[in-house]
Structure 1
Amino acid sequence: MRRVAWLPTAGLVLGAIYCVAPTLWILVAATKSPAELFATATYLPSFGAGILHNIRDLTAYQGGIFWRWMLNSFLYATVGGVIASLVSAASGYALAKYVFRGRDALFNTILAGVLLPQIVLAIPQYLLLSKAGLTDSFAGVLLPQLFNPYGIYLCRIYAAASVPDSMLEAGRLDGCSEFRLFTSIGLRLMAPGLVTVFLLQFIVIWNNFLLPFVMLTSDSQFPVTVGLYSLLRHGAAEASLYSLVITGTLLSIVPVVALFLSLQRYWRIDLVTGSIK
């Protein structure tokens, strides 16, 4: 029995190593100067000021355009995450709390959108937005990401479980409009679930590469993913830029980790509330 128990443990350990090893390599490689990057052992860090020099060189590259890319990613992910979460909340709430003809068919159609990979939608989205003159713009990257089928699915499940029908009926008896019921009761009770939807959408938009790569042509509009890719292409002819790409990749992880850690307490509150119920 003990030997059998070691098998899943060994599988989990191998999976953890597989996931952690690239991140660890980025962390180690960012401490090396361009001369040390290919001349030292792979996982042997440099104890000099390599990472500080790399950050300074990255900041100086093309007048600090890297930080413009970071700001663009933050705007795309924050604005898109907030609006997409509200759209998902309203859609999930309506599908959970209102009975109307075709509700199940509509929900199944939305749920089918989860199965469509983004690479299939990128070109049609580009063609549609190009007709509207929205390519190479903030709206061109933002609009296709405001509708999140998986977020709507989560919000419907969460609204059905956390928003009591009796509370809504009491509000209607007091004369509340349906919009006020949603904003005053539905959103408040769904808030812990919306934190999860926002975080997932934030990460998806922050890591998105294909859509902004297709939509944008101006360097000043690039998110950090496309910006680092363009920097990597220049690095094919100038090897010293590889250190800047690695350092930029490390810095791009920091906001996601910080957001994840800062929102953890809301998940704990949600778990405690669920256990009490």
Structure 2
Amino acid sequence: MTTVTPAPAPSKAKRLPAAARPRRRSPAGRRSTPLTIAMLAILAYFLLPLFWLVVASTKSTQDLFNSFGLWFSQAPQLLSNIKATFTQDDGVYGRWLFNTVIYAGVSALGAALLAAAAGYGFAKYRFRGHRAAFNLVLGAIMIPTTALAIPTYLLFAKAGLVNTPWAVILPSLVSPFGLYLMRIYSEDAIPDSLIEAARMDGAGDLRIFFTIALRLLAPGLVTVLLFTLVATWNNYFLPLIMLNDPHLYPITVGLSSWADQAQNGGAGASSDMLALVVTGSLISIVPLALAFLMLQRYWQSGLAAGGVKQ
């Protein structure tokens, strides 16, 4: 009787120890020297003017011209510059700062709510002239705001609103780009099934918008709010032609008037006027920076996640 010997099982390849295996670098761990240099150059491009502003705010007008621009002088005087800025012309800078907060805050909140309502309407409702109306909004984005300043002035002059806060606030409430952004965001952030479920529960359109849609639109709403806040805060041309009373000026127009006084030697000009203009410019960016820091987490969060149960 012949005995059949089974064939030996194929031997498994000997695995190398973990320490001897070649390591693959993850995409997050890769480094690109040209890209790093480019990013550092871009960072310097944006931070260098801010650094100059901080340094210049610690100098007197004489030191602004006699010392190196990118470093502090031998006698820094930031606190005295801040005090002089708020006491110049009977403290009118504080009034300008208050005006700017009111103009920018009311305009940003109003523009964000109007853009959210209009964007939600364009995204979730169909009506006659829907496409033509939205194309009109897209066309309005292409028109520069400076081109509309003079017609807006003539319109507000007929209405008797020139030289009032409404002359700055009302034009800032219209944000075609914000409407476009909110329409795109509403299409994905608010499922149609959620709206239908709310309607089946007896909720009306206004209740659905204010209790459901606004919560889901919060990240896009904050984005439009920040864009409008910055645009209104830095707006110069519209308040310049709309306002005549210095007590109604925002910071941009007020600091420009101080700069004109310093250069032309007008009434009320002092030897340290340029230093006050620079210090006032530094103070004016602090509220914007705080607004971005406080609203950043809302801007980046995805509040629409989990809005519909599977």
Fold similarity call, TM over 0.5:
yes
The separation in 1 between residues aligned to 2:127 and 2:68, in whole angstroms, is 64
**Cα gap change, 1:257/1:24 in structure 2, threshold over 3 Å: closer, same or farther?**
same
**Cα gap change, 1:106/1:131 in structure 2, threshold over 3 Å: closer, same or farther?**
same
Structure possessing the higher radius of gyration over alpha carbons: 2
> Which residue number in structure 1 is paired with residue 298 of structure 2?
266
The separation in 2 between residues aligned to 1:37 and 1:252, in whole angstroms, is 20
Question: Of 117, 134, 146, which residue of structure 1 is paired with 2:173?
Answer: 146
Write the mapping of 1:77-88 to structure 2, written as runs, cut at 5 A: 77-88=104-115
The separation in 1 between residues aligned to 2:157 and 2:173, in whole angstroms, is 18
Structure 1 contact 30–246 (Cα < 8 Å) conserved: yes
SS of residue matched to 1:270: coil
Structure 2 contact 119–184 (Cα < 8 Å) conserved: yes
Which has more helix, going by share of residues? 1
> Which residue number in structure 2 is paired with residue 195 of structure 1?
222
> Which residue number in structure 1 is paired with residue 231 of structure 2?
204
Structure 1 contact 31–47 (Cα < 8 Å) conserved: no
Q: Deviations over 1:104-153 (max 9, x none)?
A: 21111101111111110111100100110100000011111111001001
SS of residue matched to 1:170: helix
Structure 1 contact 32–50 (Cα < 8 Å) conserved: yes
Structure 2 contact 217–304 (Cα < 8 Å) conserved: no
> Which residue number in structure 2 is paired with residue 240 of structure 1?
272
One-letter code of the match for 1:242? L
Q: Percent identity?
A: 42
Q: Deviations over 1:49-108 (max 9, x none)?
A: 511111111111011100110110000010110011110011000000001122121111
The separation in 2 between residues aligned to 1:270 and 1:245, in whole angstroms, is 41
The separation in 1 between residues aligned to 2:288 and 2:225, in whole angstroms, is 12
The separation in 2 between residues aligned to 1:35 and 1:43, in whole angstroms, is 15
Aligned length: 272
> Which residue number in structure 2 is paired with residue 14 of structure 1?
41
The separation in 2 between residues aligned to 1:104 and 1:11, in whole angstroms, is 42
The separation in 2 between residues aligned to 1:258 and 1:47, in whole angstroms, is 30
CA RMSD for the aligned pairs? 1.9
- Unaligned stretches of 5+ in structure 1? none
Taking structure 1 as the reference length, what is the TM-score of the superposition?
A: 0.93
SS of residue matched to 2:89: helix
What's the offset of the Cα at 1:24? 1.2
Structure 1 contact 33–53 (Cα < 8 Å) conserved: no
Taking structure 2 as the reference length, what is the TM-score of the superposition?
A: 0.83
> Which residue number in structure 1 is paired with residue 89 of structure 2?
62
**Cα gap change, 1:87/1:249 in structure 2, threshold over 3 Å: closer, same or farther?**
same
Question: Of 230, 233, 243, which residue of structure 2 is paired with 1:216?
Answer: 243
What's the offset of the Cα at 1:249? 0.2
